[in-house]
A = this chain, B = another copy of it.
Amino acid sequence: MRAEIITIGDELCRGEIVNTNASWLAAALWDQQVTVTHMHSCLDIAEDMAQLVREAADRSDLVLLSGGLGPTSDDLTVDMLADLVGAEPVVHEPSAENMRTRFAAAGIALVPNSERQVRAPAGARVYENSTGLAPGFEVSHGDASVIALPGPPRELKAIFADHLVERISELRLARGEKLEHVARRIFRVFGKGESQVATALEGLALGDGASLHYQVKFPETLVKIVVRRDAQEAANAELSKIDADVRERLGWLVYGTDDDSMAKALVRELERLGHTIATAESCTGGMISALLTDVSGVSKSFPGGAVTYSNEEKMRQLGVSEETLKAHGAVSEEVVREMADGVRERMGADWGVAVSGIAGPGGGTKEKPVGTVWIGVAGPSGIRKTKMYCWPWTRERVRALAAHWALNLVRQQLGKL
């Protein structure tokens, strides 16, 4: 099955918003084995919209539109498609009732325009909107199904999940396509670049119907495996074979799967061991603790952290000695070691992690150029680990890498317990 996506709106063509709807729909269709061959955007001009729909319907089996279903005079999708299929736009009563209920609950009065957004071409298959007002709907043009969806991403996603996953399977079956069962996993990989990850996975045994894709999502790499089989058990079994192979090849580089984050993976490990961690940050300035506290329920594992941007605060909050600072400078192995020890002891945590570096753009020297970062980890049973990095990137990237490497080094040490 071949599909095209048409997203409508002046704000897209003026570059005011990035088209996340198109990429979301493309990924959702790809997941259902539908090949998206083209994606288009146009202004809120009915003729342009209709021309794109006609051309797409001639080329493809399925056309998904988004946008132009609101209540204002700029919203032309219902009338344009009604015109295209020679039907009248009519109010969809269940959606109108839903609107009246919502408006009454919020104390908002209906205005004459309100009804515009709960219409569909007469005879269309209507898809109710569980999170908003405008319903989606489907009409036929030639041999193609043309499906219109509202522009707000939340509503578009809800209608897709509630109705279109099933409807697309139905359309594919009707076309004589074989519906396969899918098993998928995203491996979240940190610590090596995409090309090194790809090299490590070269020659990975992927049977028929299994595919592998890479996506760089700085600072990590996502490895996506999709397996399609006639039966779900077969797909799952094949995926778990591939899973084992991926993990053997990538080892500790794989920190998690699917929706994991590095912080989530680390907090999970800390919880499993009943351990706590405290942070001491200079150049990352609170990014590590912000990543950790992004994980809900982290309070069991994280008492707090110290952000010590000045040398005075490194001494006062963490007990770093003035001599060490003078002898080695704030960005040094000795200082991050004292920072990690200090924060661990003072906060009574099992683990302390510390970062000091030169994020730039200023502050570099010949010996310690911009991008130099020291990370220190102190743990139970006398664990001590320090490491230096030097990244030739921007301030933003150096800080993000430093924060992620700090979490990753703790994860590595935890893995050795």
Q: What residues make up the interface of A, taking CB atoms closer than 8 Å to B?
A: 12-20, 22-30, 35-43, 45, 48, 52, 213, 215, 279, 281, 283-290, 292-294, 296-299, 302-310, 312-313, 316-317, 346-348, 359-362, 395-396, 399
Q: How far is the CB of A66 from chain B (nearest CB, A)?
A: 13
Cβ contacts under 8 Å, A23 to chain B: 12, 15-19
Given contacts A14-B27, A285-B290, 10 further A-B contacts (CB under 8 A): A12-B23, A15-B26, A15-B30, A18-B23, A40-B40, A40-B41, A286-B288, A294-B395, A294-B396, A306-B317
Residue numbers in B under 8 Å from A310 (CB-CB): 299, 302-304
B313→A304 contact, CB < 8 A: yes
Chain B positions within 8 Å of A317 at CB level: 304, 306, 317
CB contact between A293 and one of B283, B305, B306 (< 8 Å): that residue: B283
Which residues in B have their C-beta under 8 angstroms from that of A347?
Answer: 313, 316
In the bound complex, how far is the Cα of B309 from the Cα of A304, in angstroms?
Answer: 5
By the criterion CB–CB under 8 Å, are B309 and A302 in contact? Answer: yes
Contact partner, A289, options B12, B286, B348, Cβ 8 Å: B286
Q: Which of B22, B28, B48, B286 touches A281 (beta carbons < 8 Å)? A: B286
CA distance A17 to B306 in the complex (A): 37
C-alpha spacing A219/B30, complex, angstroms: 32
Q: How far is the CA of A24 from the CA of B19 in the complex (A)?
A: 11
B13 and A213 contact, CB distance less than 8 A: no
Assembled-state Cα–Cα distance A26/B297 (Å): 43
CB pair A18 B15 closer than 8 Å? no
Instruction: Give min CB distance, A115 to chain B, whole Å.
Output: 21
Does B16 lie within 8 Å of A18, measured CB to CB? no
